[in-house]
Amino acid sequence: MKRVFELGEDFAKRLDLEDPLKEIKNRFYIKEDEIYMDGNSLGLMSKDAEKTLMRVVEEWKNLGINGWMNAEMPWFYYPEELGKLQAPLVGAEEDEVIIHSSTTVNLHSLVSTFFKPKGKRNKILMDSLTFPSDRYAIEGQLKLKDLDPREHLVVIESKDGKTLDEREIVGRMDDDIALVLLPSVLYRSGQLLDIEYLTGQAHKRGIIIGFDCCHSVGAVPHYFSKWGVDFAFWCNYKYCNNGPGGTASIYVNKKHFHKEPVLAGWYGYIKEKQFDMSYEFQSAENAGAWQIGTSHMLSMAPLEGSLKMFNEIGIEKIREKSLKITDYLMYLIDNELSQYGFIIGNPREDHRRGGHVALEHEEAVRINEAMKDRGIVPDFRNPNVIRLAPVALYISYHDVWKVVSIIKDIMENEVYKNYSKKRGVVA
């Protein structure tokens, strides 16, 4: 979509006045002297999330063990109830989403169910730009089945080191591939893959396909059921604002509900019978079957308030603002910063990008440090990317305008030269 912007500060303020989501930022804890552009790594705390977290803390205080059945939203059913609340964000049916564990653990659990090497069809297809944890986990899954990753892991390379070509991925979906695992949005460049197309092509060839959606859920709407995606998983501490290390999510298409959760545990049991304590495992007939152990109540409670906020606004509206504000950021970069050697590393088209802009510069490490001292919270990704996420719920157009003018000042006055080239441990 072609949007028309202007450069001045007044124009930024006008965009804010017209922004239908402008009031939402008042529900977040935002510091006056800081512009938080890192919601793609750790989302900010909302008062809504704080309220549900504190309610569960109080319930623990007052109810003890009885919280499992007598809390306002009984803890025993909490992962299922929050799954229902999250389903609209990913276009899933209510019982296809469950809140459980962490992203990488969920990957292990899902892949151990969905990777069934048979005869010649015994390889996993991934990409060379995926999040490293996914690569480690997939290699581990192959080793568990005594398969050598050098032979059984097929990795699609990137031509430009930033993006992937979907047709090339499909071109390698041969009859030796049992499973494809891809990210929805690439964590560094912000490229959004065509999930519907990839899913259709995998299925045409009899291949199971799953997606790591850490960098999209809460920013980009998905339609997993309609597209027929087999499984997906994501963390909730990024765009979903569930707090540091907050409990993650699993999506399993209902056509797979009969499949065995191989990394089984008692929380995957049919709920009504879980406390029969039988040794014969009977798995729940929904995504809950992939739960392993007791729900992490305190790491999940902020998500209740947060998801209610998402549903009140609607993920489509959030995406609309996210696309417009990232487009505005790119417009300002093109006009104000390209003269200093900055390059935009993410794809430009709306349907090919997620919620952040990948700003590239050979001095990214030092510029990133200088930005921090000027009240911006960006994040740096090796070797040369500054990721800037103007999160729709709590970043204004005026914030974006200020970020670009601060970067411009850092470049114009060569402020970054006062900083060390060494990156921090968490970056």
Ligand X SMILES: *Cc1c(COP(=O)(O)O)cnc(C)c1O
Residues placed in the known binding site for pyridoxal 5'-phosphate: 103-104, 131-134, 212, 215, 237, 266, 294
Instruction: Considering only residues 185 through 204, tell me which ones interact with ligand X, judged by CB under 6 A.
Output: 187
Tell me the window of 21-29, 98-106, 165-173, 196-204 that interacts with ligand X (CB under 6 A): 98-106
In the shown chain, the binding pattern of residues 100 to 119 toward ligand X, with x for contact by CB under 6 A and - for none, equals --xxx---------------
Mark the binding-site residues, compressed into ranges.
Answer: 103-104, 131-134, 212, 215, 237, 266, 294
24 vs 219, which CB is nearer to ligand X? Answer: 219
Q: Which of 80, 96, 166, 212 binds ligand X (CB under 6 A)?
A: 212
Dist. CA 288–CA 142, nearest whole Å = 25
21 vs 235, which CB is nearer to ligand X? Answer: 235
CA distances from residue 182 to 103, 127, 131, 169 in whole angstroms, order as listed: 14, 7, 10, 10
Dist. CA 26–CA 359, nearest whole Å = 28
Tell me the window of 28-36, 212-220, 319-327, 419-427 that interacts with ligand X (CB under 6 A): 212-220
Neighbouring C-beta atoms of residue 227, cutoff 10 Å: 19
Q: Which of 100, 108, 162, 215 binds ligand X (CB under 6 A)?
A: 215
Tell me the window of 99-107, 141-149, 315-323, 404-412 that interacts with ligand X (CB under 6 A): 99-107
Tell me the window of 151-159, 210-218, 290-298, 351-359 that interacts with ligand X (CB under 6 A): 210-218
133 vs 405, which CB is nearer to ligand X? Answer: 133
At residue 133, what are phi and psi to the nearest 5 degrees? Answer: -55, -40
78 vs 187, which CB is nearer to ligand X? Answer: 187
**Does 183 contact ligand X by CB under 6 A?**
yes
183 vs 305, which CB is nearer to ligand X? Answer: 183
Tell me the window of 31-39, 170-178, 208-216, 341-349 that interacts with ligand X (CB under 6 A): 208-216
**Does 253 contact ligand X by CB under 6 A?**
no
Q: Which of 70, 133, 158, 225 binds ligand X (CB under 6 A)?
A: 133
**Does 379 contact ligand X by CB under 6 A?**
no
**What's the min distance (Å) between Cβ of 245 and ligand X?**
7
Tell me the one-letter amino acid at 48.
Answer: D
Tell me the window of 97-105, 110-118, 221-229, 338-346 that interacts with ligand X (CB under 6 A): 97-105
Name beta bridge partners: 154.
125
49 vs 181, which CB is nearer to ligand X? Answer: 181
Name beta bridge partners: 156.
127
Contacts with ligand X, residue ranges (CB under 6 A): 102-104, 131, 133-134, 183, 187, 212, 214-215, 235, 248
